[in-house]
Amino acid sequence: MSHQHPRLREFKFTLYRIVRNPSAIIGFTLLLFFSGVALFAPQIAPPKYAYNPYMMPHKGYSPTPKPPSDSNIFGTTSGQYDIFYGAVWGTRTAFKIGLFVVGISGLVGVTLGAVSGYYGGIIDEILMRITDIMWSIPTLVLAMAIVVAFGRGLDKVMIALAMVQWRWYVRVIRSEILTLRDEDFVQAAKIMGVSDPKIILRHILPNAIYPVLIMASMDMGSMVITAAFMSFIGLGSPRGFSDWGQMVALARNYIVGPPDDPLRFWYTIVIPGGCIVLFVLAWNLIGDALRDAFDPKLRRR
Amino acid sequence: MLTYIIRRLLLLLFVLFGVSILIFGILMTFSPERRAAAYVTTPQQAKDIPRLIQQFGLDDPFYIQYFRWIKEVSRGNMGWSLVAARPVREAFWRYLPVTLEMNLFAAPIVIVFGIWLGTISGIHRDTYIDHVTRIFAIVGWSLPTFLFALVLLMVFYGYFHLFTPGVISDQVTMFILDNPEKFTRFTGMYTIDGILNGRLDITLDALGHLVLPVLTYVIVVVALNMRVMRSGIIEELSKDYIITARAKGADKRTIHIKHARRNALLPVVTVAGQLLAMSMEGSIAVEVVFTRQGIGWWLAESATQLDMPVLMCICLFMGVVFVVTNLTLDILYAYIDPRIRLT
Amino acid sequence: MATLLETVDLVTDFYTYEGVVKALNKISLVVDHGATFGLVGESGCGKSVTARSIMRIVQEPGRIERGKVIVYLDEKNRQAGVDLLQQSEAYMQAFRGDCISMIFQEPNAALNPIMSIGDQVCESFLFHQKREMCAKILEDLCAPECRTFYPLRKLQRAIYRMAVHAPDTLVLKILDRIPLMKLWQKRFKKEAKRRSIEIVGKLGIPNPRQIVEQYPHNLSGGMKQRIVIAMALACSPMLLIADEATSNLDVTIQAQILELLRQLRKEVISSILLITHDLGVVAETCDRVGVMYAGNLCEVADVKDLFSKPLHPYTKALLDAVPKFSMEGTLKSIEGNVPNLVTPPPGCRFHPRCPHAMGICRMEPPILTEVRNNHLTACHLIKSGKT
């Protein structure tokens, strides 16, 4: 065992720790399931409107939701939108939101944080002051302010969230880099004449990236939640769009059914809500497993 | 210490300045026509837009408009809220107690449960207790607050007919409207005012309306709090001074509580600021779903109706809250950890 | 000399991801009353694990598998030995710090950073000497010179009487929980503090009263180590285990601490188990030495015997490797590497590196046997009389 390349051994050990973790297995399975649904959405729920497959099909405009039946597997929402269709295509929407926001905010945040942390000095000061200002307002509030300024719509929500979320990555990466910057191996590289960008990319970043990966995985989930909430209050996708938050918004007046059967319209909330919860759960489980696997103190037992 | 506090309060002003510029900048992305149009309600008025622009100087340079706005704000005039149908300043003081009330009841629960659950799951790591609390934490964190609130509403209100949404029941509202002299609003919080007015039934009624919102809110925040505490305890338990204590003959209880937990509280205090941010977001969702007219509800309604002055006011408010909270937390941290001396 | 501590065939294993690390392989050593026993060996040979196994504070994933750790508390009565491995955890908690104490390698990490020095030293007294302190306070309270308010004095006398005779009663436990009533502890906390100031002063630390109020980060490394020693000696233990206690200090401080330990051995402690990798320290301070390699005790002898007539090949190689003034040429080292304890070599664990390895060394592990008076070694070579 001690004859393998050390990196390969560490990688295998990390995999071992992840696989040994039952929550990780559940998380990966769920994620695989959702990816499959998202990829094969056109096959699972054929789009009715070819020009915009995200619009949910509806037969009629009746406000009362209909329970699950043969024509609508999960039932319909208020306004007769097919829940099954919404759930399937909503998976694609969720992935879009998550990947876009995490991708852009992660990239921007890591770059800015790395530069600021490594070079220090005046760049660091200015950047830190700016991020300090941004920190004083919670994500949701700031995103809401931006969406109000730019207008409604899912794309504006995604842009707003990306504009707000990068501050987390800056902070995380910067603190990691500040610790690593004074380590001996960085000093050694500097003395040998390695150029700065190369030091950052090849030496520091591979070590500093772990908390960022954990945070990115958690963010995939929490950004979907935030976007869902914004759709719920009407700032996100338009009515009829396949977005889980949108669908919950449609159910708002039907939380409580008629007095004799108060839970009649459970499917309008539980199904889109369940999709959100499972999706976020998948990403959170993975993030948690990553955190346990990467934590040097929890390793080597 | 005093100079430190003064310096931090100056920082508060700086942050507020930055926040106001940020918000104002966002506002200015509107063109003058759009901004005027936000106040237009009939086609008639649409023709008046150029005049409105002229009248309110909506096409003046950025800095002039900004200073005009700052002047107004410092005088206390923050505009008009469409949602509340009254000046922003008045509306703010009306909605604030509702939010405060909920936080007042939720905060101690969150702190106590978070620390307790985090400690026991850290001490009994990888055992049955740890796994259960971990599942609770992960599920709690994966649950969108608004969804959980909806489900609770559906179950408890819809099915069991307990815990109606809202701040207080209609009879009480009617009573107060009909007999204004019998009920004075001291603090604006029904639970406290009820006691101060000698009307315990009002207090109980208000408490009944608080159960579901606090429950929703608490579960999500405790989930977060607990994880931080747990990792803090695990880290502390692996440190050398714990072995020294064991070698001295300390029993488990002393080690866990007197040594490990106290040290583990430090990282919790550090993230308490972030937890506060998340709990603010949670309280918006809770207020919207349970129709409690507090700051969060006001924010959501104003956002839907594109009511900009309200958003700006609330953002400024948040800025103040955060800087003050962070300052308090830093002082608390310095108090607990003798290694830090604020200079 | 009478035996204080005796380990018999102690085996400790660590269950790790890479496999089961057989850290201790039947360690049997004997520490006498009033003697200093030095345990030497390379890093990773199992010296610390031995010490922690004796105290039963081995950390996860380690487990003490077999063996006995017998302590003879009463010097005169050899029959009254207690096997520590058979005792309950509660017994061990009362035992640690009171009869056997341990000090560690890293003084910077050994102290709780957010508790004052005084609080930490007092802890030792509060754990073990509660009864004595309460008895003394009771005496003071009953003395005619007592100046406390009469009813309060009666109440306190009653409480302290209870504390002396039955410290675990429910009444006292309840009193501890009620905030105001907790004040009854004030007296004996003050007494504990007085004792801690006393012991801190005894260890040669200037201004003990001020030091006691300070925090660990205010002190230097040498001072911190003295505080750690003070905490260990607070209850006058019979055995002090020093686990590489001077390895992380500068040479001058190291000399001071060793001198301090020597003094204390005359006054306060009875025996010391000194764990180190530094042969010089051993030569200077110890009466008896044990040499460990890869989880085995190779040789145990009186200091003079070991350094003048070493028997085991490993000991000889170690002593040869120490550079001496009179030497010339290249430094002598021991060939090969320390074995992987997950899969230790069969038979004698040193045989791959031993210049005198024989066939039997590969097959059978040698047993520690007495060769000369009180000089034991575990080597097939010696047994066969080939030296």
pLDDT, position A234: 85
How does DSSP classify residue C365? -
Residue C83 belongs to a domain: no
Q: Which residue has the higher pLDDT, B279 or A271?
A: A271
pLDDT, position B36: 60
**Distance of alpha carbon C292 from alpha carbon C24, whole angstroms:** 10
Q: Do A256 and B158 touch (CB under 8 A)?
A: yes
Residue C170 belongs to a domain: yes
CA distance readout (Å), C106 to B241, B331, C52, C246, C342: 10, 31, 15, 9, 27
**Cβ-nearest to C104 among B240, B254, B339:** B240
Residue C184 belongs to a domain: yes
Identify all chain B residues contacting C101, using CB atoms and an 8 Å cutoff.
247-248
| B268-282: average pLDDT | 80
Per-residue pLDDT tens over the stretch C141-185: 777 766 667 777 777 777 777 777 766 677 777 777 777 666 677
**Distance of alpha carbon C1 from alpha carbon C221, whole angstroms:** 36
Identify all chain C residues contacting B241, using CB atoms and an 8 Å cutoff.
109-113
C-alpha of A276 from chain center: 11
Q: For residue A273, give both structure tokens.
A: 């809500």
Identify all chain B residues contacting A31, using CB atoms and an 8 Å cutoff.
none
- Predicted ipTM of the assembly: 0.83
Is the predicted pLDDT of residue C49 greater than 70, yes or no? yes
Q: CB–CB of A282/A27 below 8 Å?
A: yes
Find the chain C residues whose C-beta atoms sit closer than 8 A to any C-beta of A: 16-18, 60-61, 340
Residue C277 belongs to a domain: no
pLDDT, position A227: 92
**Cβ-nearest to B26 among A146, A270, A281:** A146
Specify whether the backbone of C19 is left (phi greater than 0), alpha (psi in -120 to 50) or beta: left
Residue C104 belongs to a domain: no
Is the predicted pLDDT of residue B14 greater than 60, yes or no? yes
pLDDT range class, residue A301, cuts 50, 70, 90: very low
| C45-58: average pLDDT | 88
Is the predicted pLDDT of residue B200 greater than 50, yes or no? yes
Task: Give me the residues of B, 239-268, that contact A with CB < 8 A.
Answer: none
pLDDT range class, residue A100, cuts 50, 70, 90: very high
CB environment A195-218: b (16+ within 10 A), e (fewer): eeeebbeebbbeebbbbbebbbbb
| C83-100: average pLDDT | 86
What's the angle, vertex CA B258, arms to CA B253 and CA B259, rounded to 5? 105
pLDDT range class, residue B165, cuts 50, 70, 90: confident
Residue C156 belongs to a domain: yes
pLDDT range class, residue C279, cuts 50, 70, 90: confident
Task: Give me the residues of A, 93-132, that contact B with CB < 8 A.
Answer: 129-130, 132
Residue C265 belongs to a domain: no
Per-residue pLDDT tens over the stretch A133-173: 888 888 888 888 888 877 788 888 899 899 889 988 988 88
Q: Do C93 and B259 touch (CB under 8 A)?
A: no
pLDDT, position A300: 47
B125, closest residue in chain A (CA to CA): A298
**Cβ-nearest to C55 among B240, B247, B254:** B247
| B278-294: average pLDDT | 86
Per-residue pLDDT tens over the stretch C310-365: 888 888 888 888 777 777 777 777 777 888 888 888 888 888 888 888 888 888 88
pLDDT range class, residue A128, cuts 50, 70, 90: confident
pLDDT, position C387: 46
B143, closest residue in chain A (CA to CA): A277
Rounded to a whole number, what is the distance in angstroms from the first to the last CA of chain B? 6
Least confident segment among A30-34, A117-121, A134-138, B188-192: B188-192
A259, closest residue in chain B (CA to CA): B158
Identify all chain A residues contacting C61, using CB atoms and an 8 Å cutoff.
301
Task: Give me the residues of B, 168-207, that contact A with CB < 8 A.
Answer: none
Q: Do A148 and B303 touch (CB under 8 A)?
A: yes
**Cβ-nearest to C97 among B239, B240, B247:** B247
Is the predicted pLDDT of residue A67 greater than 60, yes or no? yes
Q: CB–CB of C92/C84 below 8 Å?
A: yes
Q: For residue B229, give both structure tokens.
A: 């505490």
Output the average pLDDT for chain A.
82
pLDDT range class, residue C140, cuts 50, 70, 90: confident
Axis-axis angle for helices C221-233, B240-248 (nearest 10) = 30
A76 forms beta bridges with A82
Backbone angles phi, psi at C298, to 5 degrees: -85, -40
CB environment C50-87: b (16+ within 10 A), e (fewer): bbbbbbbbbeeebebeebebbbbeeeeeeeebeebbee
**Distance of alpha carbon C219 from alpha carbon C222, whole angstroms:** 8
Is the predicted pLDDT of residue A1 greater than 50, yes or no? no
Q: Which residue has the higher pLDDT, A286 or C157?
A: A286
Least confident segment among A18-22, A73-77, A148-152: A18-22
Is the predicted pLDDT of residue B59 greater than 60, yes or no? yes
**Distance of alpha carbon B190 from alpha carbon B188, whole angstroms:** 6
Most confident of A94-108, A117-131, B173-187: A94-108
Is the predicted pLDDT of residue C383 greater than 70, yes or no? no
pLDDT, position A199: 72
Q: Which residue has the higher pLDDT, A292 or A269?
A: A269
Instruction: Look at strands C271-276 and C239-243 and give their pairing.
Output: parallel
**Distance of alpha carbon C78 from alpha carbon C30, whole angstroms:** 14
Domain containing C168: what range? 118-196
Q: Do B240 and C97 touch (CB under 8 A)?
A: no
Coil, helix or strand at residue C377 = strand
Is the predicted pLDDT of residue A279 greater than 90, yes or no? yes
**Cβ-nearest to C113 among B244, B251, B339:** B339
Task: Give me the residues of B, 44-83, that contact A with CB < 8 A.
Answer: none
Q: CB–CB of A267/A67 below 8 Å?
A: yes
Is the predicted pLDDT of residue B177 greater than 80, yes or no? no
Per-residue pLDDT tens over the stretch C287-307: 899 999 888 888 899 999 888
User: Domain tally for chain C?
Assistant: 1
- Over pLDDT 90: what percentage of chain B? 0
| A251-264: average pLDDT | 75
C-alpha of A225 from chain center: 8
Q: Do B153 and A276 touch (CB under 8 A)?
A: no
Q: CB–CB of C318/C42 below 8 Å?
A: no
pLDDT, position B45: 60
pLDDT range class, residue B259, cuts 50, 70, 90: confident
Q: Do B284 and A226 touch (CB under 8 A)?
A: no
Count A/B contacts: CB-CB distance under 8 Å.
137
Identify all chain B residues contacting C228, using CB atoms and an 8 Å cutoff.
244
Q: For residue C96, what are the contacts with CB-CB under 8 A and spacing of at least 6?
A: B246, B247, B248, B249, C55, C57, C102
Per-residue pLDDT tens over the stretch A186-240: 888 888 887 777 777 777 777 788 888 888 998 898 899 999 999 998 888 888 7
**Distance of alpha carbon C300 from alpha carbon C50, whole angstroms:** 15
**Cβ-nearest to A1 among C18, C60, C61:** C18
Residue C51 belongs to a domain: no
Query: Is the peptide bond prior to C61 cis by the omega test (within 30 degrees of 0)?
Result: yes
